[in-house]
Amino acid sequence: MIVVRVELHSAIDGQVTEIARMAIDNIGGTATRGDYRIRTLRGRSTASLARFKVQREGRVHGHARLALHVWCLVAKALAAVGYSKEPR
Residue 8 is assigned to a structural domain of this protein: yes
Residue 87 is assigned to a structural domain of this protein: no
Residue 85 is assigned to a structural domain of this protein: no
pLDDT, tens digit, for every residue of 34-55?
A: 999 999 999 999 999 999 999 9
Average pLDDT over the chain, rounded to an integer: 95
Q: Distances from the Cα of 19 to the Cαs of 8, 22, 41, in angstroms?
A: 7, 11, 10
Residue 55 is assigned to a structural domain of this protein: yes
CA atoms within 13 A on the CB side of 46: 5
Residue 88 is assigned to a structural domain of this protein: no
pLDDT, tens digit, for every residue of 51-69?
A: 999 999 999 999 999 999 9
Q: pTM for this one?
A: 0.90
Q: Tell me how many domains the chain contains.
A: 1
Give residue 84's pLDDT band: very low, low, confident or very high (50, 70, 90). confident
Residue 41 is assigned to a structural domain of this protein: yes
Residue 86 is assigned to a structural domain of this protein: no
pLDDT at residue 16 tops 80: yes
Residue 45 is assigned to a structural domain of this protein: yes
Domain residues for the domain of 8 are 2-80
Give residue 85's pLDDT: 75
